[in-house]
């Protein structure tokens, strides 16, 4: 066992013991659900290096929007930096070790889940505010695709650290509402939702996709679906009066097609016709039922991963 492995193991065990003694009610369910993920990460990586990253990502996500966020985030950031520099071969597992606990914390935490569903519920109600938000998200999607175009697989590292910065600044701005930039960001937020919550869901969801999908071409399509296609669905769904979907009267046929068709056309340029239409339909369907399950920034990435594995098996 290397020195780094030993230190990582000791830090992981010490942290588990501490939160079990001091914060067991907060972390009990999250730790139980985490057990299979931790075992799989260890078995695939054959190293203890990623385990403290997993646990500190979980702690940081749990304390999001509080002053208690900063210490676990700082420890997590240092561990991620060391791991990404020394273990490039484990980048996929590193991304999974960060995104899974982040999303799990958001989904299992009652308040965070409530905020996520409220965020989805208010989608499209304020046309002006929603338009600002969606145009910004489309711009983010284009930049993300360009990062992959110019940097290839190293683009994953760039996006990883960009996501960490989103979490950090989201927490800072929420706790310091008197900052001028905070008011600017709030103009793009839906009414009665946490500042930056949708962006954090989106960022974590895309990290998860990068952790499971290695193909850069498929990541082009994934970025388009998550950031551009989803925004097009909202924009068209708000502005055009079209029939409601049979299985969800809060979503429209126009919004469904506005996401599915452009995503398919974009995908055809990078992957074959059948995968392009499969990813597009699968992800668009996930978006169309998101208000019944969870934030679409979770349902769309998960649907893309499922579609990817189905295509791989087929």
pLDDT in tens, 247-263: 887 888 998 999 999 99
As a whole number, mean pLDDT of residues 179-206 equals: 72
As a whole number, mean pLDDT of residues 292-297 equals: 72
- In this structure, of 55-64, 183-192, 199-208, the range with the lowest mean pLDDT score is 183-192
Residue 52 has pLDDT above 90, yes or no: yes
Residue 4 has pLDDT above 90, yes or no: no
As a whole number, mean pLDDT of residues 33-39 equals: 95
pTM for this one?
Answer: 0.87
Q: Where are the domains of the chain?
A: 1-108, 113-314
- In this structure, of 167-181, 190-204, 297-311, the range with the lowest mean pLDDT score is 190-204
Got the DSSP string for the chain? --HHHHHHHHHHHHHHHHHHHHSHHHHHHHHHHHHHHHHHHHHHHTSSTHHHHHHHHHHHHHTTTSGGGHHHHHHHHHHHHHHHHH-GGGHHHHHHHHHHHHHHHHHHSHHHHHHHHHHHHTTTSSHHHHHHHHHHHHHHHHHHHHHHHHHGGGHHHHHHHHHHHHHHHHHHHHH-TTSHHHHHHHTTSPTTS-TTHHHHHHHHHHHHHHHH---HHHHHHHHIIIIIIHHHHHHHHHHS--PEETTEEEEEHHHHHHHHHHHHHHHHTTS-HHHHHHHHHHHHHHHHTHHHHS-HHHHHHHHHHHHHHHHHH-
Query: What is the model's pLDDT at position 195?
Result: 63
Residue 111 has pLDDT above 80, yes or no: no
């Amino acid at each position: 066992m290397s020195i780094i492995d030993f230190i990582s193991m000791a830090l992981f065990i010490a942290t588990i013991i501490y939160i079990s003694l001091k914060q067991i009610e907060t972390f009990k369910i999250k730790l139980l659900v985490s057990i299979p993920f931790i075992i799989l990460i260890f078995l695939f990586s054959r190293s203890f290096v990623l385990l403290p990253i997993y646990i500190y990502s979980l702690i940081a996500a749990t304390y999001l929007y509080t002053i208690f966020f900063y210490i676990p985030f700082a420890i997590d950031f240092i561990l991620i930096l060391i791991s990404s520099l020394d273990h490039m071969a484990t980048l996929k597992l590193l991304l999974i070790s960060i995104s899974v606990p982040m999303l799990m914390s958001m989904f299992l935490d009652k308040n965070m889940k409530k905020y996520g569903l409220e965020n989805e519920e208010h989608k499209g109600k304020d046309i002006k505010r929603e338009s600002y938000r969606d145009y910004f998200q489309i711009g983010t999607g284009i930049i993300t695709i360009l990062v992959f175009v110019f940097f290839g697989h190293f683009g994953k590292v760039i996006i990883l650290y960009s996501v960490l910065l989103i979490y950090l600044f989201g927490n800072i701005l929420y706790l310091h509402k008197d900052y001028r930039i905070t008011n600017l960001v709030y103009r793009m937020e839906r009414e009665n939702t946490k500042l930056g919550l949708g962006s954090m869901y989106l960022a974590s969801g895309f990290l998860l996709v990068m952790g499971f999908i290695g193909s850069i071409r498929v990541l082009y399509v994934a970025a388009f679906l998550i950031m551009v296609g989803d925004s097009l669905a909202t924009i068209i769904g708000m502005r055009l009066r079209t029939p409601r979907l049979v299985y969800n009267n809060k979503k429209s046929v126009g919004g469904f097609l506005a996401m599915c068709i452009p995503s398919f056309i974009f995908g055809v340029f990078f992957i074959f016709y059948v995968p392009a239409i499969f990813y597009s339909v699968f992800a668009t369907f996930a978006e169309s039922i998101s208000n019944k399950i969870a934030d679409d920034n979770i349902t769309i990435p998960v649907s893309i991963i499922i579609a990817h594995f189905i295509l791989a098996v087929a």
